[in-house]
Structure formats: C-alpha cells, structure tokens
Structure 1
Amino acid sequence: MIGATVILYKPDMDITQQLLDSVLEQVDVLSIVDNSPVPTELNIKSDNLHFHHFPNNIGIAAAHNIGLNDLKTAGCEFGILLDQDSCIEEDFAFRLSSLLVASKVDKRPLVAIGPRIICSFSDKTVRPRVQRELAIYDDLVCVTQIISSGMMIDLSKLDLIGFKDESLFIDGVDHEWCWRAKKNNLMVAIAEKVEMIHRLGDSRSKFAGVTYKVGSPVRLYYQFRNVLVLSRRGYVPWYWKCRNLAVLPIRFFANSLLQDNRIDRVKFMLCGLIDGLFNRKGAFSDNW
C-alpha cells in the first residue's frame, strides 16, 4: 500500500484542494496534519483519512512524524510527504513507487526518492549549485539531500534511520534526515523524469545580481539558528556547513536593509544567532 501525508498551515484552498483531490486518487491512506490556528475546512470523502489539528503549530518535523506513524500503523509500504502548495501529476505516486520497487529488487540502498522540482516563481527546474551527484542508476540520480515535499520513503527502513528531528522545528529538517540516512549507509535520489511544481519561499528578491528566497520574519529565526545547530553535527556535509555559515552575514545584511518589517527581521535573526550559539532547540516560543 501507498500512503501520503499532507501538512497544512493557513492554506490557499484553491491550490490545496487540487492537491488533495489528486492525492486521494493515487494513494490508499491519507494523513493530514493541520498546523493552522483554526481547523481548515476540507471537502474530502475517504474511509482511510486521518486528520490531526494542532492550533499551536507543532512544527513540520513533528507533523511529518505523526503522518508517517499513521501510514506505518495502517500497513503502508511507501509514504509520500507533501506540502500544501505542491502540484503533482496524476501518476506521480505510481512512478515513484515503481522506482523504489525496482531499486529494492536490484538491492540498491535507497530509502527515499523525490521528483525534480519546478519552482512556481520561475517555472524553471531547480538544480543545486553545490550539491554533487553521488551515483546514477538509470533514471535515478543519487544525491546528498532532497526536500521533503514530494519525497517518497520506504517505510520499512524508517526504524533504522529514525523519524524527523522535532527539535529543529522547521528549517533543515528534510536535509538533516537525508544526512542521517547516509550515516546509516542508505541513500536518497531524484527521479529525473518525474517533476513536481512547488513553491519555494514566500517570494523572491534580488541583491547584487543574485536572486534569493524571501520568507516570513519568524522563519529567519529557525534558518539562522539551525545553521549553527546543524554545523555542530559530524554527519552534516562540510560543503553545507561552509556555504551556509559563509552567507549568514550577507543574509543578515539583505534582510536588515532590503526587506519590509526590518525591525522584526533583525529581532528574529539575532534571537536565532543567540539560540544557535547556545544550541537551543524547539519552537521560538519555547525560548523567547
């Protein structure tokens, strides 16, 4: 069986309803975890639906873990993680599961496969500038990490790796899990011929000719803090540590001077740097 878990937070239901309708046609079990302050009104008819509402927002990692646990308990072999604003094709689940099944038959150490991401802002395929390809198997490209939305996980291997790290709350959660999988001699891959439209960040801005993602001020707290928290861990790739630590001053400058809500942004970045230095984790509200 194939299951899916969709995470909601104040969703645009015109987009999210299309996603949910498509997912229901492709999977056997659906788990929805709603982190919105008020429960999202859903138009869903399914006997295999699990719905959880957390008005205090438990974070993406904890939400993923609840959904994955639902799918494992229901007896699913594979589980897909999806964000509310992703857009998948009608054979998305079948194509990813077929690749995972073929990999298991060939005894490849793959634990998860994700699609090629098409950014909804630029309509262009997202290709990492630094991350190198580790291996190529037919239509699969093994990489260091993939994003959580669109990721299909072989649930039988979840106990070996563990669930998502809830202490990170949101940013870096997907990458950390992939690095932990590699630590356990398991790999993640991108399916070259499977694509998914996905929204990365809230908007885009440009500084010194470089286009970068712009998120809400509070996201800066987790982004700055988790760079410092993850950089302490031995299994986190050196290229990621060096790149993200090097750009922190640039990101601080850009968010301090070039964006709206500058005072809020500076406050959240400083709080993130302080908590990162002291290795504090959890939600912002737990620490401030």
Structure 2
Amino acid sequence: MTPSHRVAAVISAYNPPADLIAKVERLANQVDSIIVVDDGSPSDVSGVLQGLEEVGAVVLKQGVNSGIAAALNAGIRHGADSSPDFFLTLDQDSELDPDYVARALQAYADASAQGVAVGMVCAESHNKQPVMLQKPGVSFPEAFDPMQSGTLIPAATFDAAGLLEEDLFIDCVDSEFTARIRELGLKAIIAPGCNISHAVGESRPMLVGKWHVNIGGQKRFVHSHAPFRVYYITRNGLVMYRRYLPKQPVWVLRRIGLEVVFYGVRVVYGPHRFRQIAAIAFGIRDAFTGRMGRIGAKENALVSPRRKKAAA
C-alpha cells in the first residue's frame, strides 16, 4: 500500500466462520478499507459479523443469498463512494501473504510504466503452486484463467467493463470478467511473489479399485466440488464458451480441454457420481434454454446428497 494508491478490499461471505475475524484483522495491515458482504447466510452469524465490525470492517447484509457476483458487486458499489484506486476481491476462505498487496501494486506500476494496459493484477501462485499462464516467458505474463479471490482490480477497469455478471451466480464469474476485459485490450497480469492460500474443495484419494494412483512417486488426490457447484460450472461454462468462442477461440478451446479432463476425474474418481452426472445434464439443459441465476429447487434437491438423520 502506498499513500498514492487507495485499496478497498471486498470479501464475499456465506455462513462466515469465526476465523474470518482474524483474517480481516491481518488484511487491514495491507489495505485502506475492508467491506464484508454477508450473502444471506441462513445460520446465525451475528457474533461473527459483530466481530468483523469491531476490527474495522464495514459489514453489508444481503437479504437473500444472491450469489458471489451480486455480493461482490454490492461491496464494490459501496466502496466506490470513497473513490479507491483499486478493489481487492476475496473469498472468506482465502488469505494473502503479508506483502501481497504491496507486490501487486508494484507489478501494476512496473507494467504500466512499460505501456501495458493492466486490467487486473492476479496471484502468481495458489497454495504455493504456480498459476497457469497465457504465454510463459514474456516480460509481464498474463494469468490464463485467474480466480477472483486475490485479484487487484483498478477502479478504472470496472468503469470500462462494468461489474461482475450476476446471472452466473457462482462459478465462471471470474473467468467471464477476465474474458470481457481482454476484449477491451486489458491484461490480467500476475504479480511476482504474490501467493494466496485458498481452500480447493473436498479432497479424496484417487483410487483404481483399492490401488491409490501413484504418478511420479506421488500419490494423487481428487479435489472435487459438490454436485450443485458442478451444475453452475457446466451451465456457466457453456454460456461463456458460446459468447467468447468467436472472439477468443484459443483461450476457449484450451479451457474446454482442461474442463473435459476435470469432468472425467470428477465422475470416475469423485464422490456422488450419479448426482455429478445429473448436475452436468441439468447444466447443459439450462445453458441451452437460457435459464440463469440460482439452480432450480427441484434440480437442487435431485443433485444434493441426502443428509443422514441423527440418531434418536
């Protein structure tokens, strides 16, 4: 953070855990203001929200669960009143390294000085693993498909491109926004040394029968999503591909190739296989019929694993 660059952090929260308070307190050392948007949490999280306010965050409450795009947009609109130069978007289960924002701002300054039109600055690594790049070996490499959490976005980017697409609800919100700013000639550069710690979903061993798959001397694990998330990934991905295939064919085809592999791993090795398949089918149907927003109640019931009843 520098005196000439004001940064507002916006965090989307849903049933936020108590440890978010400590995360926000640490984040306050890197940014000028923090806005936490509670996205219609069904649980009683009043104690957590009060704790967030006590450590200096502004807390906004959505009346109903409206999705991550709507939550972040609400925070961005509120933060715009104080005219920050940058917005930093985050999930509640993410945490930045202590010098993350300073490094991101430096990357922005360095690239801008060389004439690069920077639309956003992204993490170089997630959980210490390097992110995929558009084209390695260039002076200011671009992230291939950056997630929104940990992204530093100039306020001017939102002025030019608009806010996040709320109809997508959850997944592909970040991918669509990245594709959109590229259409404007803006770059999603990575910031050297910027690492974000982030939860990656349920992890389970990759098994063939009883054999734990071992590749290169390392046992492999499958990181899977709940079936309702697979619905959004499928539907939103297809909507996005149809929109950007004529404009960014290489990026779209590369992303489709990766998704095909991920789908195969989820269905073959992941949990709830038949529910995963049903979620994919519903996602395909709704992508082609134009049904957007939240998953339908009937479809959600069909793809959601039944909870075991507690013993009497």
- Place the TM-score, normalised by the shorter chain, in its bin: 0.7 to 0.9
Residue number in structure 2 paired with 1:115: 123
Per-residue deviation, residues 161-212 of structure 1 (Å, max 9, x unmatched): 1111111111111111111111001111111222222222333553775754
Residue number in structure 1 paired with 2:42: 37
Residue number in structure 2 paired with 1:228: 238
Structure 1 unmatched runs, 5+: none
Residue number in structure 1 paired with 2:26: 22
Residue number in structure 1 paired with 2:302: none
Per-residue deviation, residues 191-243 of structure 1 (Å, max 9, x unmatched): 12222222223335537757543011210110111121111113664345335
Amino acid at match of 2:236: N
Question: Which structure would you say has the larger Rg?
Answer: 2
Whether the 8 Å CA contact 1:112–1:151 is kept in 2: the answer is yes
Residue number in structure 2 paired with 1:272: 283
How much has 1:48 moved relative to structure 2? 6.2
Q: Pick closer, same or farther for the CA change 1:71–1:250 going to 2, 3 Å.
A: same
Amino acid at match of 1:220: V
Amino acid at match of 1:265: Q
Per-residue deviation, residues 99-143 of structure 1 (Å, max 9, x unmatched): 323434444200210122233xxxx41332xx5327733xx4223
How much has 1:10 moved relative to structure 2? 2.5
Structure 2 unmatched runs, 5+: 1-5, 214-219, 300-312
Tell me how far apart the structure 1 counterparts of residues 270 and 193 of structure 2 sit (CA, whole Å). 37
Amino acid at match of 1:29: S
Whether the 8 Å CA contact 1:50–1:70 is kept in 2: the answer is no
Match of 1:117, SS state, is strand
Does 2:63 match 1:49?
no
Q: Pick closer, same or farther for the CA change 1:127–1:212 going to 2, 3 Å.
A: farther
Tell me how far apart the structure 1 counterparts of residues 119 and 278 of structure 2 sit (CA, whole Å). 39
1:1-288 equivalence runs, <5 A: 1-14=6-19, 16-35=20-39, 36-38=41-43, 40=45, 41-42=48-49, 43-45=51-53, 49-54=57-62, 56-119=64-127, 124-128=128-132, 131-133=133-135, 136-137=138-139, 140-204=140-204, 206=206, 211-234=221-244, 237-243=248-254, 245=256, 254-256=265-267, 258-285=269-296
Match of 2:83, SS state, is coil
Q: CA RMSD, aligned part only?
A: 2.8
User: TM-score with structure 1 length normalisation?
Assistant: 0.84
Equivalences, count: 279
Tell me how far apart the structure 1 counterparts of residues 184 and 298 of structure 2 sit (CA, whole Å). 32
How much has 1:49 moved relative to structure 2? 3.4
Q: Pick closer, same or farther for the CA change 1:20–1:264 going to 2, 3 Å.
A: same
Tell me how far apart the structure 2 counterparts of residues 80 and 239 of structure 1 sit (CA, whole Å). 28
Whether the 8 Å CA contact 1:5–1:82 is kept in 2: the answer is yes
How much has 1:248 moved relative to structure 2? 6.2
